Amino acid sequence: MSKVGPVTVDMADYLGVNKYAVDEGNPHIELAVDPGREEFLKLVRVCPAALYKIDAAGNQTFDFAGCLECGTCRIAAGGTVVIEWHFPGPTMGVQYRYG
């Protein structure tokens, strides 16, 4: 009798399968200039693509280039940290690939 164990999923591998057409000059998400640490930390925790980061020196960074367009950050911090959120223009943004 064969035993089926737990399956380990590497999210980076899955996310790396997607394609992204990044609209460099027209970010679809804009953040407040100096967002508070607690609100920003909330986004570090909820973004499934891990695009909100706080480094060892405490610097808060965000890169919209790998955005999955899920809208979670807008729900979590719209009007505080996230001051603008819209879908990227036609032909831009994430193109999901499964496999």
Return residues touching ligand SF4 (CB under 6 A).
Answer: 29, 47-49, 51, 67-73
Choose among 91, 72, 82: nearest CA to 20: 91
- Nearer to ligand SF4 by Cβ, of 6 and 13: the residue is 13
Q: What does R_g of the chain's alpha carbons equal in angstroms?
A: 16
The contacts of residue 59 (CB under 8 Å, 6+ apart) are none
Minimum Å distance from CB 6 to ligand SF4?
26
DSSP state of 78: B
CB of 68 to ligand SF4, least distance (A): 4
CB of 3 to ligand SF4, least distance (A): 36
